[in-house]
Amino acid sequence: MRSNKLKVLLAGAVVAAASAVALIALPASAETAAFTVTNSWSTGYEASVVVKNDTSSTISTWRVELTLPAGTSVVNAWNATQASAGSTYTFTPAGWNATLGAGASTEFGLIVNGTGRPTTCLVNGKACGGGGTPTSPVPSPTRTITPTPTPTTTPTSAPAGRTPVAINGQLHVCGVNLCNQYNRAIQLRGMSTHGLQWFANCYNAASMDALANDWQADLLRIAMYVQEGGYETNPAGFTSRVNTLVDLAEARGMYALIDFHTLTPGDPNYNLDRAKTFFAAVSARNAAKKNVIYEIANEPNGVSWAGIKSYAEQVIPVIRANDPDAVVIVGTRGWSSLGVSDGSSSAEVIANPVRATNIMYTFHFYAASHKDNYRAELERAAASLPMFATEFGTVSATGGGAVDTASSAAWLDLLDRLKISYANWTFSDAGEGSAALKPGTCASGTYAGTGVLTESGALLRSRIRTPDSFPTS
């Protein structure tokens, strides 16, 4: 996206109490940590830990130690740096969330293999509930585990066999279309995250439930910025966060589009080594999954098609070495406009395509800025190239301004007619017109329904919720 992104400080933490199945209630007046199971399944569960500074002074760092019973282990964590020694797992700040002012809090999450709950919880060497004696997070007069049933009206995941991934399985490119396991052309419709470094509290079990069940989305695009405080600052941490979001999407039957979100500098070759490292890691880890799609360069700009093609032909083999079947999406010239924003066209791509199979090409647009000539170019390109609108907005190219309802409808009608899959920018509560959620939504922890939506969000939710009608024969 071509705009200055709003940098947001985590002023609080989200705990989805309505969907929690185990909560450790904690007294105030000390540094505390609350462990909540936010989602569970037969072989494991997802949990969040809220660290709160209940003292009257600022603390410069924190450390949470969880001891798990035999047969239970932490397989992934986000918003924290994880280490382990035997059955004890230690979590320290991701960097940006180390300092907590008086009364402030932060949250990190984890995926656990096994059903055992922590037997001991320490924060900065003291009991998670406050005081100086390390204690076990089990029922007691001051620290209780309170079961909260999951509401039947908001299931954690869609019924088995009826989700987009269950129906369509492993995707592939056939001709100019994205096709499912039955070799039939399909269209995926979904939403893109904002930058994970700024809006981490928007992406958790509750928000993914809303996207999968209330929005009935097929796709989550995971926008992992490389610069602007993103991947280059903490490769391991951001890779872990991406993998966790892949898992959250998979558990709900949604496809996950892993976006290597390069924007400035615009030449993807600047990040070639980082791209190889990142895609080697995520493709190895997710190779067996059917829900993963790779977007290797978000919006190339200030670079020739030859330069973009060279980058793609070096990164794609890294993915293919681990995951030979997944669809890979290649960015195009002029902020992924097929060159239109650079005064060029799709002709250069058609004449000199990337030398690889099972790939698609990216097209981005913002409805209030990009109109008939952009739509005409996409339609011309789609006759020869497999296209995927991995990012678009209902507003101007800055990400702000008013929703252009007429142009947005024209674009969505075109994408539907051509069966071009799309992800809208953004499923976030950013203070800009393109955001789907009203400011403050992510801090509130309530994501479903129309009351939390902006004008853009209401428009997209109504379109995405219409039946997919995926062909199966």
The catalytic site residues sit at 299, 391
Query: Using CA atoms, how far apart are residues 259 and 201, in angstroms rounded to an integer?
Result: 19
Helix H or strand E encompassing 179: strand 177-179
CA 405 – CA 425 distance, rounded (Å): 15
Residue 170, SS3? coil
CA dist., res. 372 & res. 411, Å (int): 9
CA distances from 294 to 56, 74, 302, 358, 439 (A): 46, 26, 23, 11, 30
What's the gap between Cα 258 and its chain centre? Answer: 8
Residue closest to 8 by CA, chosen among 154, 140, 164, 202? 202
Q: Say which residue the tokens 């493709």 belong to.
A: 283
CA angle 110, 111, 112 (to 5 degrees): 115
CA distances from 50 to 123, 127, 206, 358 (A): 11, 14, 15, 42
Q: Which of 117, 24, 120 is nearest to 71 (CA)?
A: 117
